[in-house]
């Protein structure tokens, strides 16, 4: 399946994407599942600049780990981290690289956007904060809606699907209707690999990723160094770069629009190869 071009309204500037996008992950936390993605405030600017140099088209800043089983930081701490982290990124890479903030809290999202972020990336798809959809609509920013169930503490006990792909597509479709009613114009969908999904369900969704095209939205795929790779192969997170690149290429072949990754260079190389094959 060939990539379908898309555009986003970034602070009144129409940004057009004629090829798949690399989104680089920066985590201003001490407990994200991949230690290599963690950064303190003193490191964030340099990390952001390096990712852009390596091929990142966007940057995604998180300040509260949402890995399965993770304990949650309080909203004040998350907000302070996001605001200071966004400012550090802007100081390092300027205003032309879109920055998303990975948060399910509407208050933290608003503060980060006001500090200079461009996109809200909500792993809960609006389920953990009933004010999120209205907040994103009022901010007039693009929104990444991910599928999950429950909370990071409970999600892996909520994997009872009759047909995982069909049910995830249906859930996202219902929420897209709500977002449209709220006035949110630009939405990216994320199937939520690793979130309330078993190993087998993750691979079923990847095999059937083309089904998400029915939603008529760009599809973000986050597979980078996740347990669906490490558990299958019996390897450490630190050793999962090759597996991540392969899985990303398979996602691109099935219509992924955005690869959210810890390693932008390898993702950009995968995109270049897929583009050459589909030229």
Compute the average pLDDT of residues 241-258.
Answer: 97
pLDDT band at 70 (very low <50, low <70, confident <90, very high): low
- What would the pLDDT profile of 18-56 be if each residue is shown by its tens digit? 999 999 999 987 654 444 555 678 889 999 999 999 999
Q: What is the mean pLDDT of residues 222-238?
A: 96
The catalytic site residues sit at 226, 260
Fill in the DSSP letter of residue 24: E
pLDDT of 1 higher than 80:
no
Asked if residues 63 and 85 have their Cβ atoms less than 8 Å apart, the reply is: yes
Topology of domain 19-278, CATH: TIM Barrel (3.20.20)
pLDDT tens digit string along 81-129? 999 999 999 999 999 999 999 999 999 999 999 999 999 999 999 999 9
pLDDT confidence of residue 34 = 43
How many C-beta atoms lie closer than 10 Å to residue 66's C-beta? 24
Phi and psi at 261, nearest 5°, equal: -140, 160
What is the pLDDT at residue 240?
Answer: 97
User: CA-CA distance, 132 to 104, in Å (whole number)?
Assistant: 8
Name the 3-class secondary structure at 15. Answer: strand
Please check whether residue 146 is in contact with residue 193, taking contact to mean a CB–CB distance below 8 angstroms. no
CA dist 234 and 26 (Å) reads 25
Hey, which bits of the chain come out as E strands?
A: 6-10, 13-17, 21-27, 58-62, 99-102, 119-122, 143-146, 187-190, 220-221, 258-261
Question: What's the average model confidence in pLDDT over 219-229?
Answer: 97
36, with CB counted inside 10 A (0-12, 13-18, 19+), is middle
pLDDT at 31: 53
């Amino acid at each position: 399946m060939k990539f379908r071009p898309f555009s986003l309204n970034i602070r009144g500037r129409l940004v057009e994407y004629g090829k798949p996008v690399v989104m680089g992950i920066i985590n201003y936390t001490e407990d994200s599942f991949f230690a290599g993605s963690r950064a303190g405030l003193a490191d964030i600017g340099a990390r952001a600049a390096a990712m852009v140099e390596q091929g990142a088209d966007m940057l995604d800043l998180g300040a509260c780990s949402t890995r399965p089983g993770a304990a949650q930081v309080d909203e004040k701490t998350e907000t302070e981290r996001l605001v200071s982290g966004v400012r550090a990124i802007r100081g390092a890479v300027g205003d032309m690289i879109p920055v998303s903030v990975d948060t399910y809290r509407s208050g933290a999202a608003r503060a980060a956007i006001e500090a200079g972020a461009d996109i809200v990336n909500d792993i809960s798809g609006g389920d953990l904060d009933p004010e999120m959809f209205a907040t994103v609509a009022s901010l007039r920013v693009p929104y990444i809606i991910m599928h999950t169930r429950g909370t990071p503490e409970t999600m892996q006990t909520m994997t009872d699907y009759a047909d995982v792909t069909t049910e995830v597509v249906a859930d996202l479709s219902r929420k897209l209707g709500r977002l449209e009613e709220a006035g949110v114009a630009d939405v990216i969908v994320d199937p939520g690999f690793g979130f309330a999904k078993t190993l087998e369900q993750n691979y079923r969704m990847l095999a059937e990723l083309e089904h998400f095209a029915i939603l008529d939205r760009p599809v973000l795929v986050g597979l980078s160094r996740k347990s669906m790779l490490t558990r299958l192969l019996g390897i450490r997170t630190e050793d999962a770069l090759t597996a991540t690149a392969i899985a990303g290429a398979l996602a691109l072949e099935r219509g992924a629009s955005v690869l959210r990754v810890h390693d932008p260079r390898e993702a950009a190389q995968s995109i270049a190869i897929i583009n050459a094959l589909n030229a």
